[in-house]
Structure 1
Amino acid sequence: MTATNVDAIGEKEKSDLFVKFEKFGKFQTIQFLLICLTLFMISMTHVNYVFVAENINYRCRMPECESQNQDMKTPSWWPEDVDTKCYKPILNDEHLMSNQTCTNASFSGVIEQCQHWVYENNNSIVAELNLACQPWKINLVGGIHNAGMIFSMMFTGWIADKIGRKPTVIVCAVGACIGVFKIFVTSYYPYLAIEFLESVLGSGLYTVGVVLMIEVGGSSKRVLTGIIFSYAVYVGEIIFAFLAMGFQYWKWLILVVYAPMVLFILYIFVLKESTRWQLLRGKMDGAKKTLNAIAKMNKLDIGEKEIEDANDDQLRIMFDVVEQKERENMKVIIGSKEIMTRLSVTSFCFFTSSFLYYGSLVHCVLLPGNKYTNFILAAFTSFPGEVIAYYTFNKYGRRITLQCGYFLSATFLISQNYCPESLSWLKVVLFLVGKLGVVICFTGIYTYSLELFPTSVRGTLLGWGNTTARIGSMLAPLTPLLISEIAALPSILFSATAIISALLLTFTPETKSLPMFDTIAQIDAHKKASQFKEEQCVETPTNPTTVSTKL
């Protein structure tokens, strides 16, 4: 047998071994369930303000004329030309001196700002923190939460690349439970501080969670992983709506959602680190332990000794991981034109997807009908959206699916705004179809970005992309304030950003048939090889030159 044949047999054995480890089995299923459980809980905290800080009905109360325990019905003596919410009429001197019961003749015709209110219920912080006639404070709660996400996304990806995916997941999942302390707060600004802090600690899970799932699931399950990740988020939102419907009092809702998250500390014993990250960072002992766990749980016919005897280079070759001689830092990222193009385009797409997604969640409770039903319908729309995304991503490609999704959402979101109010059912249907397009983009941009960025800086770059997404989600809760100026303005903004994103995607490549690159150098080399191949095809169209891009 020749040396060439021996090498060929060795390569085949390595390839077969890699396929065995890549096969989705019990190990991957358990890891996915563990990560999805954290995403399920975090997604509920991320939309808590939709119901916890919802605006409720109220009216002004005059202590001079009525007792504290009053109902919402406007008193018969209230002047017809005075706003019942934010202003109160001033009593005339004659009434003040006589101390009589208030009547229509008791007022001087002058008004002043109201200082006391009667609330419809105490189901939100509006009543508890006395936020009547301060709509900017109510909408700011969601904005502050998403501002915290910006800080979280800026650093979580970088931390996950440095210390590992597993510890970052645990810190984020456990850290978010600090939000339970909001139930003890009695004033507005301390409440905002805790809202911001819980978001800073927990929101990074959106970045590191999907990265760990992609790296655990393997290259063959990239699209499916993105779908499962999104389903975990959507299920959390739906369950949260049902919980809000059942525990309408906001403190009970906070307690039920946040308190159980402290149990994620137990993930220290059950969650495993990404093998790909361990091999890339030279954590070979940890990588071998993880591989042994995979072999044992998936019942692979691979002995522990076989894994332990494999040297570092053999393991890297087996999993097609390139050893990093030098760490790729921000200077290397900025120096790569291809990476910067991909980062710029995906960052704007992240902004748009998040702006549209959380904007639709905020506006769905403003649609005609029951707010809880509308929220649940909007969340349920996500499931067929994910199925469509999964099918079209695999059949037609990532980029074209995203572009169609953006155009779809732009068309229907603007259409529902101009639908006659008398056709309330049609208005809701158009909105839900638009939300369907939003879901395709919201899921798709995560999967697409994971494939565009290399392993060495995937967490960092995805974190930067998620940072711009949080700017979108921070601005989304503020868009209802625009309705008082121009009713269609929020829909116009949503549609404009969607169309711009669809056009920008023409500058990034299709990743459907591309491998998962590990370094920026690989991506730059692949780009040059692709350009060389295109040039050769132009020069010799009848006999095109084939250029290998395998790295």
Structure 2
Amino acid sequence: MNIKVTPKDEKANEDVFAKLCDFGRFQTFQYFLVCLPLVMVSMMNVNYIFVAENVNFRCRVPECDGPNATASTPVWWPTTHDTKCIRPVFNLTEATCDNQMAVEFRECDDWIYEHENSVAVKLDIGCQSWKASFVGSVHNIGMLFSMILMGWIADRFGRKPTIIICAVGGAVGVFKIFMTNFYAYLAVEFLESFVASGLYTVAIVWMIEVGGETKRVSAGVIFSYAIYVGEVAFAFIAMGLQHWKSLILAIYAPVILFVVYIVILQESTRWQLLRGKTNGAKRTFKIIAKINKLALTNEEIDNIKEDDLRLKFNVASQKEKETVKDIIKSKEIMIRLAVISFCFFTSSFIYYGLAVQAVSLPGDKYLNFALTSLTSFPGDLLAYFTFSKYGRRISLQGGYLGCGAFILAQAFAPESTPWLKLTLFLLGKLGTALCFTGVYTYSLELFPTSVRGSLFGFCNTLARIGSMLSPLAPLLVSELPALPSILFASTAMMAALLLTFTPETKTLPLFDTVEEVEAYKSKMTTKL
């Protein structure tokens, strides 16, 4: 017996399938699952700020310092020499070094530290204080390579396995507590960053694809908030634990539990359909229908043909996997990549450059770090509002111009008005947060699904270069006090200018292939 399907029935069926893309209980739970490792990895990515912080120290003088000696400068220390790397040698004629004249000075090989909360003390780096700063540089180098590799792995093998590798792989950082050699410690620092940091690339791609077209901006804001929550939580955990070994165990050991994501985390159906993994996509759709309580049976999902499924979810058929050659051949993709890469570099350069300036503010270092992270929250809310109401490109351009103006203004604000300088500084930081979140969302809409992870990873690599260079900017103060701010403002304004070469994406669908992007560009050019 043949059942006649009326146009009304077809429309009702289409509506039910459309609801699979709506944000419901399934998507909410999956977002929560991905945000947890984001919080943990964000703590890993700033661990060195407190774990490998520079500690005040001085040379130990065995003939003068007792077991309870402190790092403060003793009254008997010769005023002609610093206390860090050269120590005096006394020919004692009395029981103490008071009022004694040093007979010579020698290179220091033993030190007294202010406290033992940093790994710098365990590694006994002494006057080689550059080694503590180099830990952060090595971590950022690991992030740089991770962004590229994990983006490629996510495009090639899937978003889900890459997220799990990054989340669980960060546990290797626990081994840092056993390192007694500086270079061995650096090796582990690089390895854990190389494995875990790529989560930033993969997670936001996954969130954009799973959340659907209506939640693109929300995905960017939620992604950023998860990172900020991790940074704020890290500040308070560090305040409570303080000792570097306890801190490492607190942020690295728990991530091994993310191995359960093999069972509970779901793959991006958009990636599955694009890669021809239709059966896997159907299994995920069945889970979505069940959890979101949709009037859609397993049989209805099983019976739909692959081409119809692609059509219903607006996913292009990718006959051949697109390669680097296809990217380079596309003028439109290369323009987008160049502009967005510079925007990523600028956002990271300014964001971490301002963070370096913020930690030098007077007061408690833990609270200062927490406050700088908290400042980013209203910036993200502003990004959510402006992106939804006014569009992506114009909001980003306004954010960069505003950020540059505030930074420049605070540099030339009178020193007699610290409240004004602080207010302008925080407004600049707020603008930077808007741009950082905004460029994440905008870039994912500009790049097609087939190469989204790879191109996003490349852009994140440029961001890592920006974060590596930002600590060097304060060195320019010796040339001109306002020079770092001028540099930050100049890059921000250049980014705003370059964005005129990219399209507005607020009303555009997510393109799946490079070919689709080129076809859209040709269509727009023909209309003009």
Which TM-score band applies after superposition, normalised by the shorter structure? over 0.9
Which whole-Å deviations, capped at 9, do the CAs of 1:352-371 have from their partners, x for residues lacking one?
11122222333321112222
Number of residue pairs aligned between Structure 1 and Structure 2: 525
Single out whichever of 7-16 and 462-471 deviates more from structure 2: 7-16
| Contact 1:143–1:473 under 8 Å retained in 2 | no
Q: How does 1:474-489 map to 2 (within 5 A)?
A: 474-483=468-477, 487-489=481-483
- Counterpart residue number, 1:514: 508
What letter corresponds to residue 322 of structure 2 in structure 1? E
Which whole-Å deviations, capped at 9, do the CAs of 1:1-49 have from their partners, x for residues lacking one?
xxxxx89768745642342111110000000000011101110000111
- Counterpart residue number, 1:102: 97
Between the aligned partners of 2:234 and 2:480, the Cα distance in structure 1 is 31
Q: Report the CA distance between 1:404 and its aligned residue.
A: 1.8
- Counterpart residue number, 2:113: 119
What letter corresponds to residue 256 of structure 1 in structure 2? A
- Counterpart residue number, 1:32: 31
What letter corresponds to residue 505 of structure 1 in structure 2? L
- Counterpart residue number, 1:20: 19
Between the aligned partners of 2:305 and 2:244, the Cα distance in structure 1 is 56
SS in 1 for 2:500: helix
SS in 2 for 1:324: coil
Q: Report the CA distance between 1:468 and its aligned residue.
A: 1.0
Which whole-Å deviations, capped at 9, do the CAs of 1:151-195 have from their partners, x for residues lacking one?
111111111111110000000000011111111112211111111
Between the aligned partners of 1:317 and 1:77, the Cα distance in structure 2 is 83
For residues 317 and 350 of structure 1, do their structure 2 counterparts lie closer, same or farther at Cα, with a shift above 3 Å needed? Answer: same
Is residue 216 from structure 1 mapped to residue 195 from structure 2 by the alignment? Answer: no
| Contact 1:58–1:119 under 8 Å retained in 2 | yes
How well do the aligned residues superpose, as a CA RMSD in angstroms?
A: 2.1
Q: Find 1:289's aligned residue among 283, 289, 305.
A: 283
SS in 2 for 1:118: strand
SS in 2 for 1:160: helix
| Contact 2:150–2:457 under 8 Å retained in 1 | yes
- Counterpart residue number, 1:42: 41
| Contact 1:350–1:465 under 8 Å retained in 2 | yes
- Counterpart residue number, 2:259: 265
SS in 2 for 1:152: helix
- Counterpart residue number, 1:375: 369
Is residue 85 from structure 1 mapped to residue 90 from structure 2 by the alignment? Answer: no
What letter corresponds to residue 361 of structure 1 in structure 2? A
Q: Report the CA distance between 1:412 and its aligned residue.
A: 2.6
Q: Report the CA distance between 1:429 and its aligned residue.
A: 2.8
For residues 11 and 330 of structure 1, do their structure 2 counterparts lie closer, same or farther at Cα, with a shift above 3 Å needed? Answer: farther
What letter corresponds to residue 22 of structure 1 in structure 2? C
What letter corresponds to residue 407 of structure 1 in structure 2? L
| Contact 1:367–1:428 under 8 Å retained in 2 | no
Between the aligned partners of 1:61 and 1:479, the Cα distance in structure 2 is 34
Q: Report the CA distance between 1:473 and its aligned residue.
A: 1.8
| Contact 1:403–1:503 under 8 Å retained in 2 | yes
- Counterpart residue number, 1:333: 327
For residues 24 and 504 of structure 1, do their structure 2 counterparts lie closer, same or farther at Cα, with a shift above 3 Å needed? Answer: same
- What runs of 5+ residues in structure 2 fail to find an aligned partner? none
Single out whichever of 265-274 and 418-427 deviates more from structure 2: 418-427
What letter corresponds to residue 77 of structure 1 in structure 2? W
- Counterpart residue number, 1:58: 57
- Counterpart residue number, 1:493: 487
Which whole-Å deviations, capped at 9, do the CAs of 1:472-494 have from their partners, x for residues lacking one?
12223444555566544433332
Between the aligned partners of 1:303 and 1:99, the Cα distance in structure 2 is 94
Which whole-Å deviations, capped at 9, do the CAs of 1:189-247 have from their partners, x for residues lacking one?
11111110001000110011011111110001100110001110100100000001111
SS in 1 for 2:88: strand
| Contact 1:174–1:262 under 8 Å retained in 2 | yes
Is residue 149 from structure 1 mapped to residue 148 from structure 2 by the alignment? Answer: no
| Contact 1:22–1:217 under 8 Å retained in 2 | yes
Q: Report the CA distance between 1:124 and its aligned residue.
A: 1.3
Is residue 137 from structure 1 mapped to residue 137 from structure 2 by the alignment? Answer: no
Is residue 343 from structure 1 mapped to residue 328 from structure 2 by the alignment? Answer: no
What letter corresponds to residue 284 of structure 2 in structure 1? T
Between the aligned partners of 2:110 and 2:466, the Cα distance in structure 1 is 35
What letter corresponds to residue 63 of structure 1 in structure 2? P
TM-score normalised according to structure 1 size: 0.91
Q: Report the CA distance between 1:416 and its aligned residue.
A: 3.5
| Contact 2:241–2:247 under 8 Å retained in 1 | yes
Q: Report the CA distance between 1:415 and its aligned residue.
A: 3.7
For residues 373 and 107 of structure 1, do their structure 2 counterparts lie closer, same or farther at Cα, with a shift above 3 Å needed? Answer: same
Q: Report the CA distance between 1:62 and its aligned residue.
A: 1.5
- Counterpart residue number, 1:72: 71
Is residue 181 from structure 1 mapped to residue 178 from structure 2 by the alignment? Answer: no
Q: Report the CA distance between 1:314 and its aligned residue.
A: 0.9
Between the aligned partners of 1:456 and 1:125, the Cα distance in structure 2 is 43
For residues 51 and 485 of structure 1, do their structure 2 counterparts lie closer, same or farther at Cα, with a shift above 3 Å needed? Answer: farther
What letter corresponds to residue 29 of structure 1 in structure 2? T
Is residue 193 from structure 1 mapped to residue 187 from structure 2 by the alignment? Answer: yes
Between the aligned partners of 2:489 and 2:135, the Cα distance in structure 1 is 25
What letter corresponds to residue 70 of structure 2 in structure 1? D
- What runs of 5+ residues in structure 1 fail to find an aligned partner? 1-5, 535-551
Q: Report the CA distance between 1:113 and its aligned residue.
A: 3.6
What letter corresponds to residue 167 of structure 1 in structure 2? P
Between the aligned partners of 1:406 and 1:180, the Cα distance in structure 2 is 39
| Contact 2:16–2:294 under 8 Å retained in 1 | no
| Contact 1:140–1:477 under 8 Å retained in 2 | no
SS in 1 for 2:187: helix
TM-score normalised according to structure 2 size: 0.95
Q: Equivalent pairs: percent with the same residue?
A: 59
Between the aligned partners of 2:86 and 2:13, the Cα distance in structure 1 is 78
